[in-house]
Amino acid sequence: MPNLVPGETVLKSGPAVWVGPPMERAGGLTVTNQAIVFEAEGGGGPMMARPGRPMFGGPPRRRPGWGPRGGGGGRPGFPGELRIPLWRCRSAAATQGPRGPVLEIELLSRRIALATPDAAAFAAAITAARANAPPPPPGFGPGGGGAAVDRSQMPKCDYCGHLSPVAATRCETCGAPLGPGGA
């Protein structure tokens, strides 16, 4: 069972197998009113999405929503757990794979597939949860508490080169001052 945040409730839970790159991995799938959580069995270390980049657990991710409690932001993920906030999910559908029912989830930047006997029920639970899910953080697309941020208006740090929010006075990455009198 995944670690839940205050106000988070489990809508559907059951066994699933992560299919596709980088490899198949058995585990448990849970849909809550805020996220989709896949917990790999055994926790035998992180799965690698790309060489040197863990898919589950490992060092903290920079993208908000990945990691424990949907936070990202400097907290490492639990080994073997992938947490996807519902606002990152575009759609979910049940299809028939070569070995049985498959749940296909289209995210903002990629598509994942999970083999599960309850694929249709999981797709319905995700669709229903998305309708009542919290909105994305500000600046993360339509319906996210404001329009998407125009990257051309974001200040670029002279020291490390990362973009920061429009109203920032210091770089969120390295802490250097931003603006004309900055670094």
Whole-number Å distance between alpha carbons of 51 and 37: 23
Confidence of residue 162 (pLDDT cuts 50, 70, 90): confident
Confidence of residue 149 (pLDDT cuts 50, 70, 90): low
CATH code of 52's domain: 2.30.29.30
Residue type, 83: R
Whole-number Å distance between alpha carbons of 172 and 162: 8
Is residue 80 a part of any domain in this protein?
Answer: yes
| pLDDT at 127 exceeding the cut of 90 | yes
Q: What is the tens place of the pLDDT at every residue in 42-98?
A: 654 444 444 444 444 444 444 444 444 433 333 334 457 888 899 999 999 999 988
Kindly state whether residues 125 and 154 are assigned to the same domain: no
Residue 171: give the domain boundaries.
149-183
Kindly state whether residues 43 and 72 are assigned to the same domain: yes
The reported pLDDT for the residue numbered 115 is: 93
Is residue 46 a part of any domain in this protein?
Answer: yes
Q: Please list, in sequence order, all residues whose beta carbon lies within 8 angstroms of the beta carbon of residue 73, skipping any fewer than 6 positions away.
A: 60, 64, 67
Task: Give me the number of domains the chain comprises.
Answer: 2
Whole-number Å distance between alpha carbons of 35 and 27: 16
Q: In whole numbers, what is the pLDDT of the chain averaged over residues? A: 75
Confidence of residue 2 (pLDDT cuts 50, 70, 90): confident
Is residue 94 a part of any domain in this protein?
Answer: yes
The reported pLDDT for the residue numbered 181 is: 52
